[in-house]
Structure 1
């Protein structure tokens, strides 16, 4: 814990961590907010799944593209432009009944213009701290990210149930604009310039650690999203138990992130952490009782933040600085798509076989998320004796002296 305390005392770390967390908070809210709002509007989880699918397609296209654009136009212009368009699109879905096709089209635009906050902040981190502090910073960030993916749906569920689904979406917009503005005005953005990448779009995915982190991140967040949908479906739109269970899920992840996330990262690290998530999720499906779900999901949560910390570190250590934004763009795209796809798959199974279907989906996704790093161990960097800093863009040149 002392390493985290010293990190927060480092100039700018607490500010940029808080700003990016606030700006990215809507990313953990929108999938469930749209799920609840569209289901309430059309009385069908299946239709809600279609809108979420449109959102995820837009996100899939946007992630690496807008990340690369930050190396061409700069971080502030790209983030500001996408933030405004995305906020308008999301607000339109909340306020104007447009029909299924129009809702899907606007959701696609919202996904396409999701501000690239995550790639920006991941690129800034190595320039703010020394090499020994970078892995603990990724761990601290991963713990904070769980507030986004786990606590975000708790807030969304509470507001949507107690006040209305429209207000659940509008709250996400408020976080998007307010947090995005705070992040844009942070001086750290002006101190770091992302170099223009010399490689073609997508080439960075040829780096096995980047591809590994992208796939596992997708599966992990998809499992979380399915769990969230299952919890809400289990206890109904008026059940306060849903908020309690999701809060315990979040606490488990925070505990895991702070206690395990700073440990040395060996080649088995990601598989071990995903195994914890799978075991907790699998046994959760056995009994949809509030206390059983709270206990088993607390266990599952313990592996989430440490797994994310590993993903961030192996990506950073495997690419050049000019490619970090795009690399994290792909990882972020995987996670954002996972949130939408997990909710959509869970929604269809809830319609088909009931609430337990969401937990079956979550367990299956978590199991695949364990198998991928297990079978891909040789692609996992061993960082026990090295730091996670990006590779330099320039290499030493040998000279000949007379």
Structure 2
């Protein structure tokens, strides 16, 4: 663990890490608060699904666009503007009852103006620590983000149930503004200037590693969305065991243990030197734990096998960050992370949709099986692309140099 102690000796590292976690905390709250708020306001979960879908579409579009804008306009202007606009739109939905079509349009704008915190911070990280420590920082970041997905829904449900969904949306907006300001005002940000990319939007997809990271991220996150839905269904009366009563609490415990495994895995294994086969091994660990969940839906069994699967989760996300950072030019890393994020967002929607169909036809086991199949596809993608992945053994993680055409006048 000494490597994490060494990270703290670099000025500004932990401030950036914790401030970006606070700025991203609303992302763990918004889905469930919007679901509850729209259902109460319009009387149907189907309408809530429409609003959430439009928000996801807007967020998927904004990933590459807002990330690229940071190279043109600077990080602070883009982050400050999107944070404020997004927070204001959340407050509008909280207190103004509008026709569903207009509300869905506002939700689309919320997605479109989602602050690009993740691409920004992962672009900043290489400037904060030496290349030899970057893998550990990516790993710590991937492990720490589990706090968002464990505490976010808990805070969302507590605030919404005690004080109302409108208050819940305001709390999410407050986190977005306060956390965003803390992150934006970090001195480290002023020292990072992203060079303007010389190529058009989407040109970064010519990097094989960006395509690989986006596709792998899509299937990886889709698998998580599917198994989460399966776990919730298993303890809400939809499983063969007929669980009821404390179902939501039990599913929360299982998912928290899953996230706890990811946290442990990120801290213990995630900083290991990345080899071309490392991504495959980390995905395989998650696959083993997920497939074992097919054996039984007993809460203790699920906690044990999903903790095992969780050990590979944060390390896999850390590997994706390291792959992008070590193979993409610095001027294009923000956009690259934007595309990777878009792949993951689409994966959430696709995984949830597949899980819903599977649960309707086969019960909770169907969603867990769908998750297993998605992870098999994910592992296959990582396996067939091993030759395109970097070997970072004994190497510092550094982006390739910026190169361009230089005109030399003839004498």
Q: TM-score, normalised by structure 1?
A: 0.90
1:50 and 1:344 in contact (8 A); partners too: no
Q: Partners of 2:302 and 2:97 in 1: how far apart?
A: 36
Write the mapping of 1:124-143 to structure 2, written as runs, cut at 5 A: 124-143=124-143
The structural deviation recorded for 1:171 is 3.4
- The residue aligned with 2:198 is 198
Superposed CA offset, 1:280-315 (max 9, x none): 223324433322222222122111100011000010
1:254 and 1:305 in contact (8 A); partners too: yes
- 1:388 and 2:388 aligned: no
- The alignment yields a C-alpha RMSD, in angstroms, of 2.7
- The number of residues matched between the two structures is 399
Superposed CA offset, 1:234-267 (max 9, x none): 4349632232222211110001101110111111
Change (3 A) 1:334 1:260: same
- The residue aligned with 2:76 is 76
Write the mapping of 1:100-139 to structure 2, written as runs, cut at 5 A: 100-139=100-139
Change (3 A) 1:274 1:320: same
- The residue aligned with 2:239 is none
- The residue aligned with 1:12 is 12
- 1:228 and 2:228 aligned: yes
SS in 2 for 1:9: coil
- The residue aligned with 1:343 is 352
Change (3 A) 1:305 1:351: same
- The residue aligned with 1:314 is 323
The structural deviation recorded for 1:35 is 4.0
Q: Partners of 2:38 and 2:365 in 1: how far apart?
A: 21
- The residue aligned with 2:260 is 251
SS in 1 for 2:145: helix
Q: Partners of 1:95 and 1:338 in 2: how far apart?
A: 31
Superposed CA offset, 1:163-191 (max 9, x none): 65555444332321221111111111111
- The residue aligned with 1:304 is 313
The structural deviation recorded for 1:146 is 2.4
Superposed CA offset, 1:328-364 (max 9, x none): 1111222233334433443454455544444333333
- The residue aligned with 2:21 is 21
SS in 2 for 1:200: coil
Write the mapping of 1:3-402 to structure 2, written as runs, cut at 5 A: 3-38=3-38, 46-160=46-160, 165-236=165-236, 239-350=248-359, 353-394=362-403
Change (3 A) 1:229 1:95: farther
Change (3 A) 1:358 1:11: same
1:150 and 1:249 in contact (8 A); partners too: no
Of 257-266 and 232-241, more deviation after overlay is shown by 232-241
Q: Partners of 2:89 and 2:302 in 1: how far apart?
A: 35
**Gaps spanning 5+ residues in structure 2: where?**
237-244
**Gaps spanning 5+ residues in structure 1: where?**
none
Q: TM-score, normalised by structure 2?
A: 0.88
Whose Rg is larger? 2
2:60 and 2:341 in contact (8 A); partners too: no
1:57 and 1:111 in contact (8 A); partners too: yes
1:153 and 1:228 in contact (8 A); partners too: no
